[in-house]
Each structure stands twice: as C-alpha cells, then as structure tokens.
Amino acid sequence: MIGRFNWAGIIDFLPQLFTGLYYTLLISVIGLLIGFILGAIFGLGRIAHNRIIRGISIVFIETIRGTPVLVQAIWIYYALPLIIQFELGSVTAGIIVIALNSGAYIAEIVRGAVQSIDQGQMEAGRSLGLNHGQAMRYIIWPQAFKRMIPPLGNQFIISIKDTSLLSVILVPELIFQGRLIAANHFNAVEIYTTVAVFYLAITLTLSFILQRMERRLDI
C-alpha cells in the first residue's frame, strides 16, 4: 500500500537535526582545513627531490585512496586507540578521518596544479636569485592555487557528504540524528528527505562561494 508524506510534527525534530547539522559542519570545516594543510604538504612532498619525502608521500596517498572511508573511520575509532593507547572521542576520530581522507585527494590536486604551471616560471624566478622555496611561495603557488579551486570545490563537496558515514562511529551528525528520530517515530521518509535538503543547503552554499571566488581570482 502506498501512503503519503506526513509532514505533521516534523518541525518538532528540527532542533535535533540542527544539532546534527552543527556536527556535520564542525567536522567538515575542521577536517577540510587540516586536510588542505595535509594535502599541501603531501602534494608538494610527492614531487620533492628528496626520495624519502617522496616515498612517504606516495605511501600516504596510496594507502588512503586505496581504502574506503568507512573502513578508515572504523579503523581510526576502534583500532588506532589500541595502538596509541589513548581513547579518541567519536567527533575527534571523525575529524581525523575527514582530514586524512581529504588530505590524500587534495595532495593529488595540489600536485597536479603545481605541475601544470609552466616550468619557465620556476626558471625565471630562480634566474633572478630566488631560492627554490621563495620561487615556490611567490611565483608557483599563487598561480597553482587558482587552478586548484575547481577541483578543491569538488573534493570539499565529496568530503562533506562523506561525513555521513561517520554515523557508524557514533558521531552525532545529520544522518546519525535522522536515524535516531526515524527509529523512534517511524517517519524515515520525511526525516531523510529533510536531511537531504540540509545536505543540499550546505553544498549549494559552498558551490556558490567557490564560484564567486573563482570569478574574483580570474584576472
């Protein structure tokens, strides 16, 4: 039998969903911030002259890219504490998962963008007496960063949606709250529809911001 949507009372659950939204945003923002830093480090490390640095970067990138986020979440929440002998809260674990996971993908974005800058730019900088680091910082990076923005936006959106998997390690984010409500009130259809709208609101806002940024940086 096909029934119909029943939106009555959904408003009562909004505060709880907003709590979920708060954690989704918290983990996304902090996770992606750290992820970008990791991505910059490993992305540049991936093309470093030093073999050891390059090796470490490749191992990191390939390990993370080669395993599912879900496995990473479970491993960091349950297995990592056994190794470091230190209990991680689920939110902390969630942030680590998003940071590491996005970090590996962002590393490849960074590498691609840096390598796409014409070699003559580095040569011009070096020929003026700038050292490698200065040339990277003042000449290559600003140009590469501009090229990173579209793929970064893509990765940010993917990572934001990946936070939904963190419900399995008990992070009280959107999906976790939704499931809780649905289990108690038998309104899964309405709740998950609302949750979908919440995700859309986040990702569309982000797309909009990135689009404006792209336009502003396009000289």
Partner 1 sequence: MITVKDLHKKFGDNEVLKGIDCEIQPSEVICVIGPSGSGKSTFLRCLNMLEPITSGEVIVDGYNLNDSKTDINIVRTEVGMVFQQFNLFPHKKVIENLMLAPQKVRKITDKEARERCLKLLEKVGLADKAEQYPQQLSGGQQQRVAIARALAMEPKMMLFDEPTSALDPELVGEVLEVMKQLANEGMTMFVVTHEMGFAREVGDRVLFMDEGVIVEEGDPEQLFSNPQSERTQEFLNKIL
CB of 150 to partner 1, least distance (A): 17
- Shortest distance (Å) from residue 214 CB to partner 1: 14
Toward partner 1, which CB reaches closer, 52 or 219?
219
Looking at beta carbons only, is 119 or 184 nearer to partner 1?
119
Q: In terms of Cα–Cα distance, which of 110, 65, 73, 106 is closest to 90? A: 73
Closest to partner 1 by CB, 4 vs 49, is 49
Using N-to-C axis directions, what is the helix angle for 188-217 and 174-185, rounded to 10°? Answer: 160
* Beta carbon of residue 128, minimum distance to partner 1 (angstroms, whole number): 4
Q: Least distance to partner 1 from the beta carbon of 144, Å?
A: 10
39 vs 125, which CB is nearer to partner 1? 125
Q: How far is the CB of 138 from partner 1 (least distance, A)?
A: 6
Buried b (16+ CB within 10 A) or exposed e, 33-55: ebbbebbbbbbbbbeeeeeebee
Tokens for 144? 């590469």
Q: Which residues here bind partner 1, judged by CB under 8 A?
A: 118, 120-121, 123-131, 134, 138-139, 142-143, 146, 219
Nearer to partner 1, 64 or 144 (CB): 144
Give the integer Cα–Cα distance in Å for 146 and 28.
Answer: 22
Q: Please spell the DSSP secondary structure of 130-176, one letter per residue.
A: --HHHHIIIIIHHHHHHHHHHHHHHHHHHHHHHGGGGGGGT--SHHH
- Cβ atoms < 10 Å from Cβ of 169: 21
